[in-house]
């Protein structure tokens, strides 16, 4: 992606803000505040490589809004990370936390790097180096990072450890998505996929589906994609296609998801297999591209990869009547217009993938209390949050006759607006 694409990613995010603002009860001042991040930092991170040479990496952190609580949001390691992308993702996090009603604002961070080119030792040095550069910008009460694209629990553990060293006190609440042994929360691993699954189960109730008759295609077979596939498959849904960064597989009869996950974890490749015990055999499946997967004739399409997958160029070929966004920003606003006119239902990212940040919130709460919950307690607390957010947004959608994304932003904006207005806006200060 070019630099301009990423500048426009933030502009695109703001277009959604403007669209929703016409339907939301929020004053102009609150909107003006949301149009730019509260703070943004760019850092350079010198890393001594294994061969003795030095490389300097560029990193960013954006704190978009903290009127409802500390900023919250992932750190991604990716070659295409840019200021515009980080700002857009932080804006989405602000809306996502408000959307499900957890007391956080939005933040996001990233480092321009292809992590696959680094050794594990180099990765650790880079992760700790990033934290050293942003240590004054983050904190349990200011800005709480988490994993994102190409970062994981191990990296979060290193980052928490580095922050704790700098502050000379163990501070698990500074970062979420940590390994369980270092203060992570049970149930965090599958939280994003599980949150989306709870949304799909609500739709199932509203539409009266029989799961065995519903076909599903999943673009992206990372953490979120695997877990939602596993949960849907267990309920009888037919997952007929899945893809990862190398390409995808399609079989109209559906796949045995546990076998696919096993194969992906063992070999890092997505192969059409059926595993019985330890014996895996390859089964017939058509190899398809990521682009072809999006255009399959299925009942449910789940983009769970990167942003900007459904665009004005391919939206006319999208056949699925329902799209559930597990990725952040997989649909551009231009494509949105087309889908909305056509009556395609899009369960938006700020609702569909909010299970991840909700369980991150649970992790932060447990770290601060020094008291940890069972996995059953985590699921028990996650479900009502997702269900009530889904139904509140669904009601706004029907009431205001808008698409579901606009409804989600309306709910989010009204909550953020309320927090900002609680400090007083012009209506309060200007005497008539």
What is residue 215's three-state secondary structure?
strand
User: What DSSP designation does 212 have?
Assistant: G
Secondary element (H or E) of residue 15: helix 3-21
Selecting among 108, 178, 201, 264, the annotated active-site residue is 108
DSSP 3-state of 33: helix
- Alpha-carbon gap, residue 336 to 346, rounded angstroms: 8
Element (H, E) at 359: helix 355-369
19: annotated active-site residue: no
**Contact partners, residue 44, CB within 8 Å, separation at least 6:** 56, 57, 58, 59, 133
The DSSP secondary structure of 231-290, one letter per residue, reads: HHHHTT-EEEEEEETTEEEE-TT---HHHHHHHHHHHSS---EEEETTEEEE---EEE-H
Return d(Cα 191, Cα 227) in angstroms, integer.
8
Q: How many CA atoms lie within 13 A of 144 on its CB side?
A: 29
Residues annotated as part of the active site: 108
């Amino acid at each position: 992606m070019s630099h301009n694409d990423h500048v426009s990613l933030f502009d695109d995010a703001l277009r959604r803000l403007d669209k929703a603002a016409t339907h939301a009860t929020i004053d102009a001042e609150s909107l003006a505040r949301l149009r730019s991040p509260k703070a943004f930092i760019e850092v350079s991170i010198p890393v001594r490589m294994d061969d003795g040479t030095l490389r300097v990496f560029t990193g960013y952190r954006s704190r978009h809004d903290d009127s409802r609580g500390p900023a919250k949001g992932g750190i991604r390691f990716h070659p295409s990370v840019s200021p515009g992308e980080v700002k857009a993702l932080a804006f989405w996090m602000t809306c996502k936390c408000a959307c499900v009603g957890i007391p956080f604002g939005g933040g996001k961070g990233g480092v321009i790097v292809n992590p696959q080119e680094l050794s594990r030792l180099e990765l650790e040095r880079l992760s700790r180096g990033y934290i050293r550069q942003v240590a004054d910008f983050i904190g349990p009460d200011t800005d709480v990072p988490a994993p994102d694209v190409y970062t994981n629990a191990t990296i979060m553990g290193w980052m928490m450890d580095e922050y704790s060293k700098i502050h000379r006190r163990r501070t698990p609440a500074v970062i979420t998505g940590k390994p369980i042994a270092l203060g992570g929360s049970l149930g965090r691993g599958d939280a994003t996929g599980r949150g989306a699954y709870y949304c799909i189960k609500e739709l199932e109730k509203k539409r009266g589906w029989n799961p065995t008759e519903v076909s599903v295609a999943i673009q992206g077979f990372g953490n979120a994609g695997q877990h939602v596939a596993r949960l849907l498959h267990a309920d009888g849904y037919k997952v007929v296609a899945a893809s990862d960064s190398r390409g995808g597989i399609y079989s109209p009869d559906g796949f045995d998801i546990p076998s696919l996950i096993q194969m992906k974890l063992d070999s890092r490749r997505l192969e059409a297999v059926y595993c019985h015990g330890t014996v895996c055999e390859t089964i017939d499946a058509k190899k398809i591209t990521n682009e072809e997967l999006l255009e399959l004739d299925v009942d449910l399409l789940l983009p769970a990869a990167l942003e900007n997958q459904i665009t004005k160029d391919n939206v006319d070929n999208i056949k699925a009547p329902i799209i559930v966004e597990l990725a952040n920003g997989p649909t551009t606003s231009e494509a949105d217009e087309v889908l909305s006119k056509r009556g395609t239902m899009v369960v938006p990212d700020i609702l569909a993938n909010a299970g991840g940040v909700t369980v991150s919130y649970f992790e932060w709460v447990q770290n601060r209390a020094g008291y940890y919950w069972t996995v059953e307690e985590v699921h028990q607390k996650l479900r009502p949050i997702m269900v009530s957010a889904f139904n509140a947004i669904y009601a706004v959608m029907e009431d205001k006759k808008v698409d579901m994304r606009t409804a989600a932003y309306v709910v989010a904006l009204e909550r953020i607006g309320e927090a900002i207005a609680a400090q007083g806006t012009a209506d309060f200060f200007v005497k008539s």
